[in-house]
Amino acid sequence: MTWLQCRRAVALAWALTLNLVKLAVMRASGPWTAERRALWLQWSCRRVLSSLGIHFFVQGEAPRRGLLVSNHLSYLDILIYSAAVPCVFVSKAEVGKWPYFGFAARQSGTIFIDRSSRASAQKVAQEIGTRLAVRVPILVFPEGTSSDGSAVMRFHSSLFQPAAANEAPVTAAAVRYVVEGGVPERELCWYGDEEFLPHLWRTLNTPGFTAEVRFGASRVFVDRRTASAETHAEVVEMRAEEASLRG
């Protein structure tokens, strides 16, 4: 254990405790609406990022409603995007069972999906359609899983259907990890069969970690496959542009 890991572990524990206190205060002070849930999550995620030593930088204008779609590198993306913009996530069902984080996800209004169940996908699509009327963007990772960042995997189009059916705005976004000292981005990605705790422990020992988020322009699509293909191309382009600027 390094001094940096020890210090950040203590800071993380303190941040998680403060998040619960903030939750109790906010729930006692008024209706637990989607907007207030998203604001609590944003407050919480900013403190967790600070405890982990992760800075974030935003380019473009964050959407205020509609569907927000992004590439997916790690569970850290949830912290980063929520810190950047109050939003609601669509997440795999397993997250709801995680200690602490599952509870936090449920309190923030996360929509859980069992990707192995067609019935679950249909139910989630209906839930997204209902929530698109709320002035909080719904963030989905259409790749369906996280990757090592070497390429943006194909976007699954099914979760675009509610936005197309309701003519709700869709916004593409791209996230990138930049670490000092020439450390490759993939070293901070969480993918494959890696366990959660070893990855978190490595993150605690990573100096100079900055996450870059770039938002594109919001657009309306009337076809889910067109929405999927065009936002995928946009995310790929944004990732390539960021890489060339740093290259």
Mean pLDDT across the stretch 113-131? Answer: 87
Mean pLDDT across the stretch 124-150? Answer: 94
- Higher local confidence (pLDDT), 226 or 113: 226
> Which residues in 192-212 are b (16+ Cβ under 10 Å) and which e?
eeeeeeebbeebbebeebebb
Q: Which domain holds residue 28?
A: 3-246
Contacts of 49 (CB under 8 A, 6+ apart): 55, 56, 79, 80, 83
For residue 158, what is the domain's CATH number?
3.40.1130
* Predicted pLDDT at 227: 98
* Predicted pLDDT at 246: 62
* Predicted pLDDT at 184: 92
* Predicted pLDDT at 119: 82
Q: What is the mean pLDDT of the chain?
A: 94
Rounded (10°) angle between helices 3-28 and 196-204: 110
Domain total in the chain: 1
Mean pLDDT across the stretch 103-130? Answer: 90
Mean pLDDT across the stretch 207-224? Answer: 96
